[in-house]
Amino acid sequence: MTAKKRKAPGDTSSGADHQSPRPIPNLGPSRYPHHAPADAFSDGYFRRLYSSELDFRQLAKQNVDFAAVLGENGQLDFSDPAATMQLTKTLLKVDFGLKLELPDDRLCPPVPNRHNYILWLKDLLDTSSYDQPGGKLLGLDVGTGASCIYPLLGTTQRPWYIDAKSLSYARKNIELNGLKGRIRLVERKAEDTLVPLDEQGIQSIDFVMMNPPFYSSEDDMLASARKKARPPLSACTGAPVEMVCDGGEVSHVGRLLRESLVLRDRIRWYTSMLGKLTSVEVLIDQLRQNGIDNYAVTEFIQGNKTRRWALGWSFGAMRPAEHVARGVGARIPKKMLPPPLETELLVLSAGEELGPVISKLKEIIGSLELMSWVWEDEESRGIGRTRENVWSRAWRRKKLREQSGDGNREDPSPASGTSEECRLGFAVAVTVEKAKTSVRLHWREGHEPQIFESFVGFLQGKLKDLCRTIEWSKVGISGPVSVV
């Protein structure tokens, strides 16, 4: 199966029909009053899940099996494996309409943590494409485990097709939820490649995801447990085969990285969850050593107890949104993050008239010789692509020489390239907030941060003229305007 070609702005050719995702079943009143109706699919519904603490008493009213393990005081005993297992089953049933069977000696995945990974992966894929979100995608979950949790959550929320690696319980959970047509299990040996595209006759896929074992040995796992000041808050039912691998998570993800250097853009995004911050730093360093400049890192925080991280990288030119690529707190040094992908060009006071701002933006960018430029009035947003830095003085000098008939001389400047490849794709948007109106620029496509930074400087310089014009027209009237 091949992934479909993605369209750039201005391409009006028709794509493959989108298959509707499985609807959220009508399961009665939602635990959260601000949720979307239970019978209406929406990304907003899934994004709001677990944004506040779980209400165990309400869950018990919705699910009799959960009521049986909940204490009279409304508290759940997280040290009891049966209780944590039932919580996972209940959340999957109530919030996603999914059924689950697991053996007692295999890892019982916490649903909110796994759901966070799927939310981030959706954002990563959505914001690094010019296509509308929600289309058919093909992905691979490496080492899916007995629960098959990621494929189940992903295919419930989006029309995704996922190859997964696991055995009998994973197969049973796929069948229980009627997803045999969209989730395929691929059994592998330890020495096999992680990503078997050629063996499966697949040319390309949209993503790889995995949640590798944290520990390099059972001794490492036991030593980590001894370092904790208190016993874990939740029972661990994972078997050593699920918790331990030779070299730990750095080795396992490093193996995926080595395979990606061969497969390259046959896979749009390679991603993994990680359990240790030190692993994130080591792997980012490995990405940079291999010349991979397009990567994303984020942090998942469940309550104030559990922290996990996710790392993704791509050989393609499409960049994700800022909050997706740099979604971490202060614990990761800024030097480890990918370059900034968004910048604020202009700030206006609240209530400022937008007409002159939008007209000026369209005039400035529309005067450039871009590959494409489309302004969307309803969204107050424009998307453009260019093969060169056509705003630079070097490029203007080159054009003047061509117009004067002197364009055959050798031109050593960077602007002399004639490649049809897009070197910079961008989006510029006017955003109205309660306290201010801002103009923001987002780097959408390309591998050269210097070109994006140059375009930022160009636009800021041009918008200074707009600031002066607005101030002159408001003599005696307060209301600051500034170029950032």
CB 206 within 8 A of CB 252: no
**What span, in angstroms and rounded, lies between the C-alpha atoms of 442 and 263?**
28
Domain boundaries, the chain: 43-336, 342-483
Q: For domain 43-336, give the CATH number.
A: 3.40.50.150
Residue 420 CB burial class (10 angstroms; 0-12, 13-18, ≥19): exposed
| Distance, CA of 228 to CA of 167 (rounded, Å) | 33
Crossing angle for the helix pair 81-96 and 111-127, nearest 10 degrees?
40
476: left (phi over 0), alpha (psi -120 to 50) or beta: left
CA distances for 351 relative to 356, 413, 455, 481, angstroms: 13, 44, 28, 12
pLDDT at 449: 95
Give the C-alpha separation, 58 to 306, whole Å.
24
DSSP of 146-176, one letter per residue?
Answer: TT-HHHHHHHHHS-EEEEE---HHHHHHHHH
Predicted confidence at residue 318, as pLDDT, reads: 97
Tally Cβ neighbours within 10 Å of residue 379: 11
Angle between helical axes of 149-157 and 168-176 (0-180°, round to 10): 20
**CATH fold for the domain made of 342-483:** TATA-Binding Protein (3.30.310)
pLDDT of residue 355: 86
**pLDDT score, position 451:** 96
Structure tokens that stand for 357 in this block: 């701002």
Q: What is the pLDDT of residue 373?
A: 97
Q: Say what the pLDDT of residue 398 is.
A: 83
| Encoded tokens for 420 | 């049809």
Divide the 484 residues of the chain into consecutive groups of 10 and give the mean pLDDT of each group.
43 34 36 35 85 90 94 88 92 94 79 93 95 91 88 93 76 92 86 91 95 61 49 45 63 95 97 92 96 95 75 97 87 85 89 84 94 94 95 86 64 48 96 89 96 95 73 46 52
Please name the residues in contact with 126: beta carbons below 8 A apart, sequence gap of 6 or more. 133
Given this model, what pLDDT does residue 396 score?
A: 82
